[in-house]
């Protein structure tokens, strides 16, 4: 793909983590979903091509089931995901329709994108949807994906999925919204002296040592998984921004080239803020 600055990107993958979609009390964050729908619809109206990768299925399912933590058994997790995914997509569709935007659900497993024929079908579907100005809402098909089969069906987490979707769709930029302001030199929740990196141009051992593996009680991703996603991005000479998803409209500031969160981009990319 061509080397572009943030301000000139065309196709964007936005990944929203469970922590942005599920409140600390386990309820669905309706305000966040409404802001996501409004923001992505606005971008679509401006001519951007937008793909949403959304976590939250298990969290939404736990809320409906009245559970306050992820069950330990795979079958119960998959049942919660099946219940929650339908609830989540119902709310997304409702909010997107409020802004006169068509959305579409795309559920994936790792083996689907690993096999050439099904991979081509996924790519064709994504390209067709964005060409129709429809916003795909992508999630892992948690109700059937497991690690224990002879062939890998899980992506690992939705950080990895979002990087793969960005590759499949040849996106110019991956925006990863999480519950942290960006990538820090240490855990800012335990170390007040932790420093926020504004830009990272390569993944090295020092960064990997700084990464924490823990996610929220509803999600699975941590800083380590975000570094792995960034490695995918660097491999295809693309760009990724990790930012706080508390206010999804922050995406507008990111696309204006403002220094928001952490930009993962090689030195071949430039922006007005450099």
Q: Is 15 annotated as a binding residue?
A: yes
Tens-digit pLDDT profile for residues 205-218:
878 777 754 444 33
Average pLDDT over residues 98-111: 94
The answer to whether 221 is a known ligand-binding residue is: yes
Residue 39 annotated as binding? Answer: no
3-state secondary structure the chain: CCCCCHHHCCEEEEEECHHHHECCCCCECHHHHHHHHHHHHHHHHCCCEEEEEECCHHHHHHHHHCCCCCCCCHHHHHHHHHHHHHHHHHHHHHHHHHCCCCEEEEEECHHHHHCHHHHHHHHHHHHHHHHCCCEEEEEECCCCCCCCCCCCCCCCCHHHHHHHHHHHCCCCEEEEEECCCCCECCCCCCCCCCCECCEECCCCHHHHHHCCCCCCCCCCCCHHHHHHHHHHHHHCCCEEEEEECCCCCHHHHHHCCCCCCEEECCCCCCCCCC
Tell me if 53 is assigned to some domain.
yes
Annotated binding residue 257: no
* Annotated binding-site residue? 185: no
Give the pLDDT score at 1: 37
Nearest partner of 158 among 92, 215, 206, judged by Cα = 215
How would residue 2 be classed by pLDDT, with cut points 50, 70 and 90? Answer: very low
Residue 272 placed within a domain: no
Helix 223-235 vs helix 158-168: angle between axes, to the nearest 10 degrees? 10
Note the pTM of the prediction, 2 decimals.
Answer: 0.88
Task: Please give the tally of structural domains in the chain.
Answer: 1
- Given a cut of 80, is residue 115 above it in pLDDT? yes
Q: What is the pLDDT of residues 46-56, one digit of tens each?
A: 999 999 999 99
232 falls within a domain:
yes
Q: Is residue 77 part of a domain?
A: yes
- Specify the CATH number for the domain of residue 16: 3.40.1160.10
Q: Flag whether 271 is in a domain.
A: no
Residue 148, pLDDT > 60, answer: no
Asked whether residue 270 is domain-assigned, the answer is no
For residue 141, the model assigns a pLDDT of 83
Q: Is 225 annotated as a binding residue?
A: yes
**What pLDDT does residue 272 have?**
47
Residue 154 assigned to a binding site: no
226 is in an annotated binding site: yes
In a domain, 84, yes or no: yes
| Average pLDDT value over all residues in the chain | 86
* 216-229 tens-digit pLDDT: 433 444 788 888 89
69 is in an annotated binding site: no
**The predicted structure's pLDDT at residue 74:** 83
> pLDDT (tens digit, 9 = 90+) per residue, 188-207?
878 888 889 999 998 888 78
At residue 240 the predicted structure's pLDDT band, cuts being 50, 70 and 90, is very high
**55 has binding-site annotation:** yes
Determine which of 20-29, 242-251, 262-271 has the lowest per-residue pLDDT on average. 262-271
Find the domain containing 182 and state its range.
6-264
State yes or no: 17 annotated in a binding site.
Answer: no
From edge to edge, which strands make up the β-sheet containing 239-244? 103-108, 135-140, 49-54, 11-16, 173-178, 239-244, 262-264, 199-200
Instruction: Decide if 1 is inside a domain.
Output: no
């Amino acid at each position: 793909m061509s080397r572009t600055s943030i301000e000139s990107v065309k196709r964007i993958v936005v990944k929203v983590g469970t922590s942005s979609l599920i409140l600390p009390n386990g309820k669905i964050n309706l305000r966040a979903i409404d802001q996501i729908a409004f923001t992505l619809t606005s971008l679509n109206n401006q001519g951007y091509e937008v793909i949403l990768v959304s976590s939250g299925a298990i969290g939404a399912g736990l809320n409906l089931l009245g559970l306050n933590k992820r069950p330990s058994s795979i079958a119960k997790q998959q049942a919660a995901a099946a219940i929650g995914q339908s609830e989540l997509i119902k709310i997304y569709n409702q909010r997107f329709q409020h802004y006169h935007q068509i959305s579409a659900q795309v559920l994936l497993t790792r083996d689907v994108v690993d096999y050439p024929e099904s991979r081509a079908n996924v790519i064709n579907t994504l390209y067709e949807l964005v060409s129709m100005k429809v916003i795909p809402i992508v999630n892992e098909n948690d109700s059937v994906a497991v690690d224990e089969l002879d062939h890998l069906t899980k992506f690992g987490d939705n950080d990895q999925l979002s990087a793969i979707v960005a590759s499949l769709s040849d996106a110019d930029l991956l925006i990863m919204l999480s519950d942290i302001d960006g990538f820090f030199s240490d855990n800012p929740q335990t170390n007040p002296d932790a420093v926020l990196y504004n830009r990272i141009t390569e993944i090295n051992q020092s960064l990997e040592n700084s990464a924490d593996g823990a996610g929220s009680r509803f999600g699975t991703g941590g800083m380590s998984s975000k570094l792995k996603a960034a490695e995918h991005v660097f491999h295809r000479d693309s760009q990724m921004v990790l930012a706080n998803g508390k206010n999804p409209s922050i995406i507008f500031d990111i696309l204006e080239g403002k220094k928001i969160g952490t930009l993962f981009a090689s030195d071949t990319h430039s922006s007005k803020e450099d």
